[in-house]
Structure 1
Amino acid sequence: MPSLVQFLPLFPFFFLISFCVSHGPFLPKAIILPVNKDPFTFQYVTQVYMGTHLAPIKLVVNLGGSFLWADCGLTSQKLVPCNSLKCSMTKPNGCTNKICGVQQENPFTKVATTGQLAEDNFAVEFIDELKTGSIASIHQFLFSCASTSLLQGLARGAKGMLGLGNSRIALPSQLSDAFGFQRKFALCLSDSNGAIISGESPYLSLLGHDVSRSMLYTPLISSKDGVAEEYYINVKSIKISGKKLSLNISLFTMDEEGHGGTKISTISPFTTLKSSIYEKFVEAYERFGISMGLIKVEPVAPFGLCFSAKGVDLTKVGPNVPTIDLVLQSEMVKWRIYGRNSMVKVNDEVMCLGILDGGVNQKASIVIGGHQLEDNLLEFNLGISMLGFTSSLSMSETSCSDFMFSKDEAFDS
């Protein structure tokens, strides 16, 4: 754990404050990171500050990523030796020249390499008394130093990836160690500006509405052979327009090797279903859609089912189309997906179901992707292995883009 945390001015109006971690009253209440959606790749991009001079670095958000990895040329890192305590906190992938190696992957290109475990100064913006704009810095922040070639396929300007997974050196754990936060964080994505927040829960007030009353909770699950760094939940059934689909529950269950289950992902732009589930799902959705008066049209790749957008009523939760319920531990706990999150507007005349066939070899039964996560407030409590979720914030007439940020928080993605 770093012994010193500093609030450093990156702009003229910031005040310089230094303090020790042991001085509890001076610790930030929460950390907030703005998240922008790249319109070309559909990736979610945030910005942090790293290095001696705390230069801004854009990173693609990977909800299930084990750690932060970034281009080696952008930081003033100190490499971590093998056989050290810090190296043991990771899952080392061998040593090169006595430097701790870790396995790092670009999930978009599927390229994996061995990176060097390193540490450097790291800073993010913090919230205090519902105000943002000051910078909290962590010395000796652990990350992986990657070669430039690993950046291929990332959003324009991104120089690495920010991992939020359930690991000892992912961002939530390192923030918890540095600032004494509970091991939990909130994710609120949108098709424009959203946020990642770690610490206490002022995000309810930052949204301007108390959405806690509509938040439901479900356990985060892992395979029986260990703790999963990615985030999985149990879906017991799927309903369309309130009608349960005839699907074998074993299709959704995670086995001892970690196959099956429902994964939550910021890497997949749309939800994908294993083929055995998708075939029955899309057939039923088409049937319910037509019964509501929707007109089927030729599909537009990559989507498998599309409808005419002409004459479809718009509600506060998007086009009036069949609702989708992911039923969790009981009939009382379900993640409802309205038209805003189920449909994708292709053009003024066509809208398509934003749920795709993940193929027969997809490891997870269901992967809930970015489009379905948008304007849903998700709270990942790693300490008690629970997920809190709101379903669509549009029901409360708010959105993830309503978070209050200082003027510098908006960055070009």
Structure 2
Amino acid sequence: MGGVTHLIVFLSMFSAITLMSEAQYLLAVTKDEPSRQYYTTVYIGSAAMTSPVNLLIDLGTNLTWLNCRKIKSLSTLGLVTCKSSTCKSIPGNGCDRNTCLYRQPRPLGKNTVVTTGRVVQDNATIFTTEGGQPVHIAPSRRFTFSCAVDKYLQGMAPPIAGVLALSPGEFPFWRQMTSAFNVIPKFSLCLPSSRYGYFFMGTPSLGGKKTVPMTSTTLKIDSGKYLISVRSIYVDGVPLTLDPSLLEGGAQLSTVVPFTVLQTDIYNALAQSFTLRQRYYMTKLFYLMISVFKYIKSTNLIFVWVLNLFSQNIGMTQTPGGHAPFKHCFGEGASGRNMDVSVMEIGLPGNGKEVKWRFQGANMMERVSETVICLAFVDGGKKPNESMVIGTHQLQDYLVEFDLSTTQMAFSDPLILHNTNCST
């Protein structure tokens, strides 16, 4: 299938997006269910011969890299020379005779593998909605990236052929595109819980004219990472008792970590509080049922009723291990089916006061079987590089905006509260 045909198919698939977004520039985000990896499709090449290339979305990569064999026509591909200003501006650059090289860190896996690839340029095509008008192809722009070979794609889902760089560095995709199209340097992600979501460059808007309230906090940039300052963590409004030093480094945001990873002491405090709160609600329910006993004439009836209600809740049915990477799992009842579980909130600085980022329901739990759901957080050990890394399971179905013009991050409420989500 030719490049132009691919573009037409793409536009047909995402025609619904025009009704949901007034963002200036847009790419679709696809969730690969088996791997829980999120990728987008960039069209590379001339207008006559574009090649759709699926790229893993990574907030930690500075320069996009991909298997250049996926580009069908190399006639428009140009090597970046060592002496060029472009090469000199790329951190970690190198040279092979007169060809610019880039050291490419792999975002997946515990052991970071770094390979060297040639830096090249080609045209890249994206899409625009321009005030809510039907999606159409934006003029292509020159795009700088580097080439990699197949073996460095290890660990990535089969459709993925490289990494789309979204770091706060000098050459991420979003910075190249916003500069080329002369729009405000910010981007937003709406990661779907299933199917397709959105990657905006410019000002996002979900639901046509309907706006989704956003809360802002300061965005910290450190060693090519996006971090937010964490003041406190709550479960159902009750703060966790933590050593303040555990929160000093803040929380890193990641689009390649599937579940939020917490330093052991933070994880244990969260898991203990979560479990105790579930038991508290169960005990409260039990005494409520006892209090209405006098209104029920049949003791057999009350016994059956109590048994029914208890069997439908997860609070007292914690299951043993065996559901890696999770440590705290529960037998699923009515509460599990409805995801009616405790709410976690992260306290962040905002406008001179603390603001709270709320996680609830499906963002708190993960189904591992038909009858078992687990607390969707991972114990990262006593001495991880970051005490808290917020993963994609917690980010999905939120609109999250990275505004590098103000160094602010904005986040929505859970979109389910506004009768919408990130999935098409």
TM above 0.5, yes or no, is yes
Picking from 236, 249, 253, the partner of 1:264 is 253
**Are 2:260 and 2:376, in contact at CA under 8 Å, matched by a contact in 1?**
yes
Give, in angstroms, the shift of residue 33 of structure 1.
0.8
Give CA deviations for 1:22-56 in whole Å, capped at 9, x if unaligned. xxxxxx96111111111111000211101231111
Maintained 8 Å contact 1:263/1:368: yes
Residue 232 of structure 1, aligned match among 215, 227, 233: 227
Give the number of the structure whose residues are more often strand, by fraction.
1
Contact residue 271 and residue 369 of structure 1 kept, 8 A: yes
- 2:367 equivalent to 1:364: no
Return the alpha-carbon distance in structure 2 between the equivalents of residues 321 and 157 of structure 1: 35
Q: Relative to 1, partners in 2 of residues 1:105 and 1:12: Cα closer, same or farther, differing over 3 Å? A: closer
Matched residue, 1:195: 198
Q: Structure 2: which 5+ runs fail to align?
A: 12-21, 283-314
Aligned residue in 2 for 1:41: 35
Shift of the 312–13 alpha-carbon distance from structure 1 to 2, 3 Å rule, reads: closer
Q: What is the match of residue 274 of structure 2?
A: 285
Distance across 1 between alignment mates of 2:342 and 2:9 = 50
Supply the RMSD in Å over aligned alpha carbons.
Answer: 2.2
Q: Which runs of 4+ in 1 moved over 6 A?
A: 12-15
Q: Does the 8 Å contact 1:92/1:100 carry over to 2? A: no
Give me the whole-angstrom Cα distance separating, in 1, the residues matched to 2:278 and 2:422: 28
Decide whether aligned partners of structure 1 residues 283 and 12 sit closer, same or farther in structure 2, where only a CA change above 3 A counts.
closer
Helix, strand or coil: the match of 1:276? helix
Distance change >3 Å, CA 13–CA 156, structure 1 → 2: closer
Equivalent residues of 1:9, 1:135 under 8 A apart = no
Find the aligned partners of 2:82 and 2:44 in 1 and give their Cα distance.
23
Map 1:201-216 to 2 at 5 A.
Answer: 201=204, 203-206=205-208, 209-211=210-212, 214-216=213-215
- Classify 1:114/1:218 alpha carbon distance in 2 versus 1 (closer, same or farther; 3 Å): same
Preserved contact between residue 292 and residue 321 of structure 1 (Cα < 8 Å): no
Query: Are the counterparts in 1 of residues 193 and 422 from structure 2 also a CA contact under 8 Å?
Result: no
SS at match of 1:88: helix
**Matching residue of 2:86:** 86
For 1:230 and 1:99, locate their aligned partners in 2 and report how far apart those are by CA, in whole Å.
28
CA contact (8 A) 1:51 1:74 kept: no
Is 2:242 aligned against 1:247? yes
- Give the aligned residue type for 1:149: K
Name 1:98's counterpart in structure 2.
Answer: 98
Per the alignment, residue 332 of structure 2 pairs with 309
**How far apart, in 1, do the equivalents of 2:268 and 2:52 lie?**
45
Match of 1:63 among 59, 62, 71: 59
Change (3 A) 1:166 1:291: same
Aligned-residue offset at 1:274? 1.2
TM-score (normalised: structure 2): 0.81
Q: TM-score, length-normalised on structure 1?
A: 0.83
CA deviations on 1:146-198 (whole Å, 9 max, x unpaired) are: 12211111112211011111122111111111101100011001122111000
Q: What is the CA–CA distance in structure 2 between the aligned matches of 1:92 and 1:116, rounded to whole Å?
A: 12
Show the counterpart of 1:384. 406
Please give the per-residue CA displacement for 1:72-99, whole angstroms capped at 9, x wherever unaligned. Answer: 2223221111131111221033211221
Matched, 1:218 2:191: no
Q: Which moved more, 1:295-304 or 1:239-248?
A: 295-304
1:275 aligns with 2:264: yes
1:11 to 1:120, Cα distance in 2 relative to 1, 3 A: closer
Which structure's CA Rg is the greater one?
Answer: 2
In the alignment, does 2:157 pair up with 1:155? yes
Please point out which of 121, 127, 130 is paired with 1:128: 130
5 Å-filtered alignment, 1:314-393, equals: 319-329=339-349, 332-393=354-415
Q: 1:163 to 1:10 in 2, by over 3 A?
A: same
SS of residue matched to 1:113: strand
SS in 1 for 2:33: coil
Q: Which amino acid aligns with 1:272?
A: V
Instruction: Give the Å deviation of 1:297.
Output: 1.2
Shift of 1:385: 0.4
Aligned length: 366
Q: Is the 8 A contact 2:24 2:131 kept in 1?
A: no
TM superposition shift of 1:366:
0.6
